[in-house]
């Protein structure tokens, strides 16, 4: 049955058993993707914002298949008998995933075909299919094809002399059946749609675009001269894309990662095949056989394949079809740093600084901190963890290189197993090494996910430490679209803790005790659990904001605290395995999720502490991988003004009734009814503007 063929699919949620204490993590992840898709369905949003959410939904599904589905398939093949915490076997999860994904893609295709394409056309942006172009436009496409596309194409035949070609990960292809008019034989050929070319080819007359695969299909006779084109259909392959099984104990981790990347480019298992529903049984059987797939791995898409590429169209210069571009403000106490009026280090000695991105500028806070340190003659060393960044052109990477060139001791701990960025991270790690930056790759067996920078400065007769601890990556690009929080501090205890953390990461150390810092995998799990347990009394209060909450021990601790009388609010952007509102188990727990213009990414922890609230922020989600298999850093926020600011962020997020969804006891998500009309993203913009107008006042405006 073609996905997208039925206008009114049965979209009843596939849930893990209600009797279970936990919600299945894979289905919870698809629940999040559904919330993203709902943004594309919202007619109140600007049109190109809806297009952007359609693209994000597709990209999310790609990630889900190459990691989560791939992992479940490995379990099935290995005959692993372990069930998930909610009681589902790997095979049961795969079946439930198939059902959910079919329904979601039905909705995606319907919204694209029935609403997005017509609305774009009415706005002067026409997405044409190959059969819809005029004769004049076809003549233009002939020229474009001959000059720009034809030289890049390589048709690959399949016959006794030509084995079935390798189909690369996430590649878009044309399956072509040709017939030799003399021998009357039919043969299969594959034409890869080159990813180096634009996915949508613009036409001269107005903003009209044709998918690249359609342009190629119109010109197949030029690729197979003298042959008859019998059929042609697009298809797309998704392979296992996770590197977590790389031998982290290898003597040369860099070489091990490169070897695995090369191996996976050629041998990673195919986990999904997306095809045009009109594809013949003969061609479909050939593809499934050669790619070693089962029918359940095939998704027939009755529309454009790879809607993730719509992100290109979302960038078209049409301000009238987009949300107003947000220009971040500079945190009041950091104003004038760029003009070298105040000394940034003097600002931090006078008190910690909190920046809420993207509302507060990343460039004038975190980037400015590292840039300031790179040029300060009294700075002796800069040490930084780098999980994802924007590459060698990143202002942060350039600042580290300048610091090394000026003779400072510069250490960059690069995580080369950051999924999807492995090859890029290897590339700019080598650029750092060439600039005499000391590049290390962290601890054996653990990913380094902490977001920490340490600056060591000589001040008179003593050494002063300055530091940054954040919730997001050192990436200026994502900092414009991800909601994150940064703490800049000169706290001596934190400075000592971060110094010892870097000694652990770069040398031989078994550091397990810290003055203030909570570090995974040493004391973070125990620390968070103890903080939760302390609130397990009548009047106890817990607010936690994370991306994902799936760790059983943490969930059980939250259940116990709820049963003992604590009121608990959880802001969970994506996966949540905790089942809230269940009598006798979690009736005092509320779970909400915010999906909007910016990606909710910060991790904040608030505990009532008997009327003296304690606040923490950091890099860790509440997942086994974060608590047990990664290096994470969570820092307490002790400054009274900054604690007030964190509480404000939590209060605004909890009051949102425009972007917020709420999780029910049955595992289903529902939009929070709009009564007050508070959009947290818009409110944070207003607060940033109000703060900018206060000329550096330390006061915090009301919600």
Tokens 């200026």 belong to 476
* Strands in 441-540 per DSSP E: 447-448, 452-459, 462-470, 482-489, 518-520
Q: CB 445: neighbour CB atoms within 10 A? A: 10
Do residues 233 and 279 touch, judged by C-beta distance below 8 A?
yes
Angle at 439 between CA 373 and CA 633, to 5 degrees: 70
Q: Are the beta carbons of 203 and 212 closer than 8 angstroms?
A: no
Q: Is the peptide bond before 521 cis (omega within 30 degrees of 0)?
A: yes
Compute the C-alpha angle 535/541/542, nearest 5°. 90
Residue 204, classified by CB atoms within 10 Å of its CB into exposed (0-12), middle (13-18) or buried (19+), is: exposed
The neighbouring-strand residues paired with 455 are: 382, 466
What are the CA-CA distances from residue 99 to residues 7, 12, 70, 104, 270 (Å)?
16, 10, 17, 9, 19
**326 Cβ neighbours under 8 A, 6+ residues apart:** 358, 359, 597, 685
451: burial class by Cβ within 10 Å (0-12, 13-18, 19+)?
A: buried
Residue for token digits 């589905």? 69
Alpha-carbon distance 66 to 53, whole Å? 20
Distances, alpha carbon 244 to alpha carbons 446, 633, 684, in Å: 10, 21, 37
Catalytic residue list contains 465: no
Cβ contacts of 195 within 8 Å, gap of 6 or more: 171, 172
Quickly count: other Cβ atoms within 10 Å of residue 434's Cβ: 11
Q: Which residues pair with 180 in a beta bridge?
A: 185
User: Considering 233, 449, 468, 681, which one is annotated as catalytic?
Assistant: 449
CB 343 within 8 A of CB 373: no
Residues 22, 493: Cα–Cα separation, whole Å: 39
**Is the Cβ–Cβ distance between 570 and 579 less than 8 Å?**
no
Distances (CA, A) of 600 to 481, 521, 545, 592, 604: 9, 24, 9, 12, 11
β-sheet bridge partners, residue 36: none
578 secondary structure, DSSP code: B
531, HSE (Cβ side, Cα atoms, 13 Å): 24
- Which positions are catalytic? 449
């Amino acid at each position: 049955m073609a996905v997208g063929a039925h206008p009114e699919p049965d979209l009843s949620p596939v849930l893990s058993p209600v009797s279970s204490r936990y919600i299945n993590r894979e289905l919870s992840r698809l629940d999040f993707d559904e919330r993203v898709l709902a943004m594309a369905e919202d007619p109140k949003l600007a049109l190109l914002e809806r297009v952007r959410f359609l693209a994000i939904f597709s990209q999310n599904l790609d990630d889900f298949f190459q990691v989560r589905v791939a992992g479940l398939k490995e379990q099935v093949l290995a005959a692993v008998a372990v069930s998930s915490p909610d009681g589902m076997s790997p095979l049961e999860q795969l079946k439930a995933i198939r059902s959910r994904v079919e329904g979601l893609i039905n909705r995606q295709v319907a919204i694209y075909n029935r609403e997005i394409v017509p609305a774009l056309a009415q706005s002067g942006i026409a997405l044409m299919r190959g059969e819809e172009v005029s004769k004049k436009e076809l003549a233009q496409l002939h020229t474009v094809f001959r000059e720009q596309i034809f030289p890049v194409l390589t048709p690959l035949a399949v016959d006794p002399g030509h084995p079935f070609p390798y189909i690369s990960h996430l590649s878009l292809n044309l399956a072509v059946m040709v017939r030799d008019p003399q021998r009357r034989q039919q043969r299969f050929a594959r034409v890869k749609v080159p990813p180096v070319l634009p996915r949508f080819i613009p036409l001269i007359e107005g903003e009209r675009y044709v998918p690249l695969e359609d342009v190629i299909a119109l010109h197949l006779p030029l690729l197979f001269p003298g042959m008859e084109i019998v059929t042609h259909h697009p298809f797309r392959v998704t392979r296992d894309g996770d590197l977590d099984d790389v031998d982290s104990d290898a003597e040369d981790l860099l070489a091990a990662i490169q070897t695995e990347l090369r191996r996976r480019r050629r041998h990673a298992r195919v986990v999904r095949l997306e095809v045009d529903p009109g594809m013949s049984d003969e061609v479909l059987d050939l593809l499934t056989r050669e790619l070693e797939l089962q029918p359940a791995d095939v998704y027939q898409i009755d529309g454009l394949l790879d809607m993730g590429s719509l992100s290109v169209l979302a960038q078209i210069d049409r301000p009238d079809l987009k949300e107003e571009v947000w220009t971040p403000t500079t945190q009041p106490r950091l104003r004038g740093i760029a003009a070298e009026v105040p000394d940034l280090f003097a600002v931090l000695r006078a008190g910690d600084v909190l920046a809420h991105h993207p509302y507060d500028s990343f460039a004038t806070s975190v980037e400015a901190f590292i840039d300031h340190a790179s040029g300060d003659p009294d700075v002796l060393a800069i040490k930084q963890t780098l999980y994802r960044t924007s590459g060698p052109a990143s202002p942060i990477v350039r600042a580290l290189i300048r610091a090394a060139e000026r003779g400072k001791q510069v250490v960059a701990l690069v995580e080369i197993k950051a999924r999807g960025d492995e090859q890029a991270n290897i590339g700019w790690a080598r650029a750092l090494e060439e600039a005499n930056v000391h590049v290390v790759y962290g601890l054996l067996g653990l990913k380094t996910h902490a977001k920490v920078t340490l600056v060591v400065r000589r001040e008179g007769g003593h050494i002063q430490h300055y530091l940054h601890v954040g919730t997001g990556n050192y990436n200026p690009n994502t900092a414009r679209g991800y909601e994150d929080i940064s703490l800049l501090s000169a706290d001596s205890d934190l400075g000592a803790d971060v110094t010892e953390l870097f000694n652990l990461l770069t040398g031989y150390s078994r550091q397990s005790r810290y003055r203030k810092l909570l570090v995974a995998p040493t004391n973070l799990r125990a620390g968070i659990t103890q903080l939760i347990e302390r609130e397990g009394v009548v009047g106890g209060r817990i607010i936690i904001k994370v991306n994902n909450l799936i760790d059983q021990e943490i969930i059980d601790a939250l259940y116990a605290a709820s049963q003992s009388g604590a009121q608990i609010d959880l802001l969970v952007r994506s996966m949540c395995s905790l089942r809230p509102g269940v009598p006798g188990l979690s009736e005092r727990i509320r779970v909400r999720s915010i999906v909007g213009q910016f990606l909710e990414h910060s991790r904040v922890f608030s505990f009532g502490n008997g009327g003296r609230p304690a606040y923490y922020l950091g890099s860790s989600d509440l997942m086994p991988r974060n608590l047990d298999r990664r290096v994470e850093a969570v820092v307490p926020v002790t400054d009274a003004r900054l604690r007030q600011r964190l509480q404000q962020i939590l209060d605004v997020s909890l009051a949102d009734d425009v972007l917020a969804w709420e999780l029910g006891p049955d595992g289903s998500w529902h939009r929070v009814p709009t009564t007050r009309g508070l959009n947290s993203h818009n409110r944070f913009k207003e607060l940033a503007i109000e703060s900018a107008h206060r000329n550096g006042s330390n006061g915090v405006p009301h919600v």
